[in-house]
Amino acid sequence: MRGLVRSLWDEPPPPDPPRRVWRDWVLVGLLVPIALIEGVVRPDLPHRVLAVALTVALVPTLLWRRTHPLRVILIVFGSSTTAALLAGGDQVGTNTQAYLLLVVYALFRWGAGREVVIGLAVMAASVGQAIAGGRLTPPDAIGAFVVMFAAGALGVALRYRSRARNREIDQVKLLEREQIARDLHDTVAHHVSAMAIRAQAGLATAGSRPDAATDALRVIEAEAARALDEMRAMVRVLRHDQPADLTPGRRLADLHELAGQGRGGPSVEVEISPGLDDLPPSLTAAIYRLAQESITNARRHARHATRVEVHVTADDTSVRLRVTDDGDGGPAASPGGYGLIGMRERAALLGGTCEAGPDPGRGWTVTAVLPRAAA
């Protein structure tokens, strides 16, 4: 019990409570004449002048009920108790004062935990003092508590509904950031690795082949252009608020482009089984990125590798990607790199799996199995 009270006491207020909006001013503008009309036409209103004055004076507190809920509660219940004492212990109020339920609702909706606890104590003390002074009978007090409890329960329900919604939004933002991080890593790492490998090859052969540096620069220029094109496509999608997983749009046929980028490193061979033309875009984009990252890892980490083979096959329920190389392994065996983490996350988002590990003897294999109906 003590832990529950401590948890409630330490709970922070909801972030960014809405300040005064036009609806608040309209509400205040309507309540004041309604209170005046009630004071004129209601014949059985006790302490007419004091009751109407109190009702009209408390109307402006609605403008601060979200930003200062506890202060408004103290003003409302303190003023009501004071007015009752000035009236000789009689109950002072109008039917228009039903708007004060908005103040109770705002306390539970926007107040911090300690403000809610203090506000509850103030309301209970006010009702208890009214019972002791004879202004409320026990049945009336129970009815008042039920009405205030209903307003407070509504505030609590909307408070935690909003909190759950914010958590969902934060989760979506996190997934979007991970998606962007994977695409950036796959795009930049692949093209930069190709440029670095080609530059190293050009430097190594520049002495015996003077034209090697020129060839290397041409390849580096082409790789840089591809990287810029894909980066621009991703930025264009982000600026236009389109789904990030649709850009850059890649098809299985684009895997043959990777086979043509093997100069200066191990050769890349791509084999795609027939009958894969009906795959959804999200699945083909994922297969392309997984293959691209696997080839990048092979070029970067597989020592003495001469060949990288990419095979894409499928059956009625799943699509299988297999990328192998004949290198000596190396740092790629470490599972802590962002590349392997991103590959596993990409496959998991589509309901599939991605595994990577060394082959018996030599070589490295990446195997991804994705459901054919992934979307």
Cα-based angle 65, 67, 69 (whole degrees, multiple of 5): 45
For residues 108 and 156, the answer to whether their CB atoms sit within 8 Å is yes
Q: What is the pLDDT of residues 94-110, one digit of tens each?
A: 889 999 999 999 999 99
Which domains, ranges and CATH numbers included, belong to the chain? 2-136 (no CATH), 170-371 (3.30.565.10)
pLDDT of residue 74: 94
Q: Is residue 333 within 8 Å of residue 363, measured between CB atoms?
A: no
Does residue 353 or residue 170 have the better pLDDT? 353
What digits encode the pLDDT tens for the residues 11-70?
Answer: 888 888 888 888 999 999 999 999 999 999 988 888 889 999 999 999 999 999 999 999
CB 312 within 8 A of CB 272: yes
Round to whole Å and give the CA distance between 326 and 90: 95
- Residue 133 vs residue 230, higher pLDDT: 133
Q: How many residues does the chain have?
A: 375
* Dist. CA 53–CA 93, nearest whole Å: 9
More confident residue, 282 or 26: 26
pLDDT at site 45: 87
Structure tokens at 162: 């909003």
- Is the pTM here over 0.85, yes or no? no
Q: Taking each helix axis from N to C terminus, what angle separates 101-110 and 69-86, rounded to the nearest 10 degrees?
A: 150
- At residue 238, the pLDDT reads 61
What tens digit of pLDDT does each residue of 150-207 get?
999 999 999 999 888 888 877 776 776 776 666 666 666 666 767 777 777 777 776 7
The whole-angstrom separation of Cα 168 and Cα 196 is 41
pLDDT at residue 158, rounded to an integer: 92
Q: What's the DSSP call for residue 11?
A: P
- Statement: residue 78 has pLDDT above 50: yes
